[in-house]
Amino acid sequence: MTTAVTGHGAAGQPGGGRDVARGNGGGGSRAAVLVHDVSGPVAHSELGTIGDLLEQYRIDAELVTVGAHPYPDPAGLDLVVVMGSDRSAHDDSVPWLSGELSYLRSAVAVGTPVLGICFGGQLLARALGGTVRRGERNEHGWFPVTTVDPEAIPIGPWMEAHFDTFTIPPGAQRLAWTPDAEQAFRLGPHLGLQFHPEITPTVFETWLGFWQARGQDKRLATLGVDLAGLRAEIARRADAARAACYSLFDHFWARARAHLAQRGG
């Protein structure tokens, strides 16, 4: 079963003055938003600014908990969004991983644009022929990126929260990177990201709850991650982060819609 993504609008937030234009840019479009090991209100809380944008573009988005709910036919969709996970995208022992990988390959095969975020970007890289591995260093916090296309991927800084990293898939364009990890690639209408453009204070509190429940907060502390400081920085950067996410998604969705028009979608 799937759940419509609703209730994410945020009047008066940065970008809100462009809501009418966005409303004309997605009406009638359908999306699947894939989440991992969460459902219901907790899953909605992970969407952050991406949830806002789906609503403002009037995209009829279905929230799908991978491994618990069936996938919608990708041929009937205009967009697939793959959110993050604390699992490893290279760990084939994860029960639902192979099925999700096959689904992304099916979406690519029928020309449905895919946006992958962090774990989702890593899995999209695998679906397109790239690889995923444990990174030499973790990235947790705010990092500027080197970008070859600032309109598509602004320099940031962007919020990072990952141990693994992907390689750029064959034929894809390398869009952005940091000294320790690839950060973005594009292949046709598909966009893979290592960072978290969706971040909001609410998203971070959701993550923190999971980290504390699983003892990961202690692990992060041993790596020098100041979670209290990070919470304060996310709150301080909230408006700028939202505006950057709007810019990134606007550019991605314009390219995706041009592709769909050519496809006849």
Determine whether 118 is an active site residue: yes
Determine whether 245 is an active site residue: no
Q: Which helix (H) or strand (E) holds 169?
A: none
Kindly report, residue by residue over 42-99, the tens digit of the pLDDT.
888 899 999 999 999 999 999 999 999 999 999 999 999 999 998 999 999 999 999 9
Determine whether 196 is an active site residue: yes
pLDDT, position 43: 86
Q: Which domains does the chain have, with CATH numbers?
A: 3-260 (3.40.50.880)
pLDDT, position 26: 60
Give CA–CA dist 32/79, Å, rounded.
7
Of 46, 100, 196, 245, catalytic:
196
Give CA–CA dist 15/23, Å, rounded.
13
Q: Which structure tokens are listed for 171?
A: 């034929």
AA identity, residue 190: H
Of 160, 190, 198, 245, catalytic:
198
pLDDT-flagged residues of the chain (< 50) = 1-4, 6-21
Of 44, 55, 118, 162, catalytic:
118
pLDDT, position 39: 82
| Secondary structure of residue 253 in the 3-state scheme | helix
pLDDT, position 25: 62
